Structure 1
Amino acid sequence: MRRPAFGGSPEADPHNLPACAAGYSATEWALITDLPARVIVLATRPGPDRPDPGMAAGLAGLEAIAAGLAFDSDLVRAVVATIYSRHDEVTPTAGPPVDLVEVLGACRAVVRMLDRRADPADSAAYRQWVQSVAARVCRTGSQTRPEDSLAPADRRLLDRLGAALALG
């Protein structure tokens, strides 16, 4: 049986988790593995003070997820492997609506879980990786701005994500 898609039922296959996920329930593992996609959706959403970042920003987010395979963290690599193992089940309409409050709450929930169960180095690597996914999306969406300049809305988003992920 395959793992559930983003927003799917995590109880669909609680026994098909990577070894790194053994300390987590299927619901907790789904929250950990869904967070990067939620961050991409949030970071690519246009707003009143933020123009549409375009398809390139979403693709940059997917590339940033894939870059997790090169991380020196069993947790990050297991999350990426889980995401890839269910790629054929993810559809553009899958999952609940994503908004800033929901994503920040999910970040804080994941941080609490990782603080209780993960190796501190793996926890730090995961949190930095999720932030790097958002940063890559925001940088790509801001390419029309002067070099090394993020839109103020992107800077605020990254700052709030960093705080929710307990970075810095």
Structure 2
Amino acid sequence: MTEQPVYSTLGFSDEEWGLLTGLPLAVLTAASAAESDGTRRTLAESAAGLEAVAAGREGASQLVAAVSREVVTRAGDPETGEELPLISPEDPAAYIADVLDQAGQASALLRAKVDAGEAGAYAHWLVGIAEQVVTAAPSGGMLGIGGDLVTEPERRFRDQLSKVLRD
């Protein structure tokens, strides 16, 4: 007997699972792209985001834990020192708009398919990933001193994500 894929046992199609598992890294990238930073800051944001993604494996939500395990399997485990490649969207504003659209689709999907607790846990986890990324490295300032911990574009993305996900 063959084992069913995790997404199937949770009641999702392959396409739906692709949306749910693709969104955490897309949120990480969009949060980082919200403010143009140097390589060092972007690396810090990426590392913080991957840590937040991986932390979902330990959560109480069965859905978040399953999605997190899948993402870490594909992207790499920060606990073993793996890092994400730096991704810089050519058009950050369009990328962010697309990620927010995908988040809206995921939110509607989850409201239709899982209980409110699981849907809320997933939304909260995604907003937490964005929060970890935007607070990972201050922007502006001189030689890492001063600057804003969270800039207005970063705050706007995080807040829009929260609104779209109803978190």
Give the TM-score, by structure 1 length.
0.76
User: 107-116 or 148-157, which moves further after superposition?
Assistant: 148-157
1:166 corresponds to which residue?
166
Paired residue total: 149
Stretches of structure 2 that go unaligned for 5 or more consecutive residues are 77-83
Distance (Å, rounded) in 2 between the aligned partners of 1:128 and 1:46: 19
Instruction: Name whichever structure is richer in helix by fraction.
Output: 2
**Contact 1:21–1:29 (CA under 8 A) maintained in structure 2:** no
Percent identical among aligned pairs is 28
**Contact 1:20–1:74 (CA under 8 A) maintained in structure 2:** no
> Quick one: structure 1 residues 85 and 21, their matched pair in 2 at CA, closer, same or farther if it must change by over 3 Å?
farther
**Contact 2:103–2:164 (CA under 8 A) maintained in structure 1:** yes
Paired letter, 1:103: V
Q: RMSD over aligned Cα, in angstroms? A: 3.0
Stretches of structure 1 that go unaligned for 5 or more consecutive residues are 1-14
2:96 corresponds to which residue?
100
Please say if 1:141 is aligned against 2:137.
yes
1:81 corresponds to which residue?
69
- Structure 1 runs of 4+ off > 6 angstroms? none
> Quick one: structure 1 residues 17 and 85, their matched pair in 2 at CA, closer, same or farther if it must change by over 3 Å?
farther
Offset of 1:32 from its aligned partner?
A: 0.3
Give the TM-score, by structure 2 length.
0.76
Summarize the alignment of residues 1-40 of structure 1 with structure 2, pairs less than 5 Å apart: 17-18=5-6, 22-40=10-28
